[in-house]
Amino acid sequence: MALFSKLFAKLRGGNLSAADWDELRTTLIEADLGAALSDELIAIAKSHKSDDIESAIKIALEAALTKNSRDLAKLDTGTTTILVVGVNGTGKTTSVAKLMSALKQEGKVVVVAAADTFRAAAIEQLQTWGERIGVPVIAGKFQGDPASVVFDAAAQAKELSADYLIVDTAGRLHTKSNLMDELSKIRRVLEKAGSVDEVLLVVDATTGQNGIIQARSFTESVGVTGLILTKLDGTAKGGVALAIERESGLPIKFIGTGESAFDFEKFNSDSYISGLIGS
């Protein structure tokens, strides 16, 4: 990434023309930082002496990231329930598999609900992952009622005294109110059986500023508590994480960096900023 190392080199040169500033702004916007944050950073750069610019920009980048906890929710007793939501193709099912794999490796007892009954392939995909990783995946019939899958999975989690119940959901367009109704229904079933402790919205980093709109609409409808930012391997534009956190105030808890179960990490803000700055 090292987006800012080029920028700093240019700023160190001094005496920037209007065209140079425009070029810097374009670079920032192309890195998916968004217009608002890009303008703010340019204003900071313009108002500082060249030897202070780097630390002033670093402070602004840090301020754009949330101070909220990035730890996965964990109840002291009972099953912690995680609902995974997002639009089609962002990487929900893959992220559920990655999360179950990571938790299983930590020695946790995990149960997964395949509540995307809209696509037969999604159910099979999750069952295959479950068999490979050794986690029970509770699934229903293709096009069945996702709420009943979740009901069965919650019962299974209770029986196994599971540490975590992870719920994969369908992702038809977030503008379709029936998806939001379905998610609300799933949430109600889970709350009747226990509680919903974490709602993770999966956002595809390659869709750029669209992620901000998705975060807004899912937050309004289902109450998002954190983000999983996927496909960071497929893009050089690392700036989207900053833009999304700044606009949504939601913490990115995990990042996806590939298609295997292990291409998954906790989001670390310090190493992310270092990566952008190239230090």
Rule CB under 6 A: which residues touch ligand GDP?
Answer: 86, 88-94, 171, 202, 230-231, 233-234, 256-259, 263
Residues 50-79 that bind Mg ion (CB under 5 A): none
Q: Which is nearer to ligand GDP, 194 or 258 (CB)?
A: 258
Q: DSSP states of 111-173 as a string? A: EEEEE--S-HHHHHHHHHHHHHHT--EEE--TT--HHHHHHHHHHHHHHTT-SEEEEEE----
Q: Which is nearer to ligand GDP, 86 or 140 (CB)?
A: 86
User: Among ligand GDP, Mg ion, none, what binds residue 88 when CB lies within 5 to 8 Å by partner kind?
Assistant: ligand GDP
Residue 174 binding Mg ion, by CB under 5 A: no
Smallest distance from the beta carbon of 103 to Mg ion, in angstroms? 19
Smallest distance from the beta carbon of 231 to Mg ion, in angstroms? 14
Distance (Å, whole) CA 261 – CA 223? 27
Q: Is the dihedral of CA 191, 85, 92, 233 positive or negative?
A: negative
User: Among ligand GDP, Mg ion, none, what binds residue 233 when CB lies within 5 to 8 Å by partner kind?
Assistant: ligand GDP
Q: Which is nearer to Mg ion, 129 or 151 (CB)?
A: 129
C-alpha of 33 from chain center:
16
Q: Which is nearer to ligand GDP, 7 or 171 (CB)?
A: 171
Task: List C-alpha distances in Å: 229 to 2, 62, 253, 255.
Answer: 19, 18, 8, 5
Residues 81-100 that bind Mg ion (CB under 5 A): 92-93
User: Among Mg ion, ligand GDP, none, what binds residue 214 when CB lies within 5 to 8 Å by partner kind?
Assistant: none
Per-residue binding string, Mg ion, 112-151, x by CB under 5 A, is ----x-----x-----------------------------
User: Among ligand GDP, Mg ion, none, what binds residue 86 when CB lies within 5 to 8 Å by partner kind?
Assistant: ligand GDP
Cβ neighbour number for residue 49 with a 10 Å cutoff:
8
User: Among Mg ion, ligand GDP, none, what binds residue 115 when CB lies within 5 to 8 Å by partner kind?
Assistant: none
Q: Which is nearer to Mg ion, 31 or 122 (CB)?
A: 122
Residue 259 is classified by DSSP as S
User: Among Mg ion, ligand GDP, none, what binds residue 90 when CB lies within 5 to 8 Å by partner kind?
Assistant: ligand GDP
Q: Which is nearer to Mg ion, 85 or 242 (CB)?
A: 85
3-state secondary structure at position 276: helix
Residue closest to ligand GDP when measured from CB atoms:
256
C-alpha of 25 from chain center:
26
Distance (Å, whole) CA 154 – CA 8? 52
**Beta-bridge mates of residue 203:** 229
User: Among Mg ion, ligand GDP, none, what binds residue 256 when CB lies within 5 to 8 Å by partner kind?
Assistant: ligand GDP
Instruction: Give the count of alpha carbons within 13 A of 74, CB side only.
Output: 10
Distance (Å, whole) CA 21 – CA 226? 35
Nearest to 201 by CA among 193, 213, 191, 190: 213
Number of residues that bind Mg ion (CB under 5 A): 4
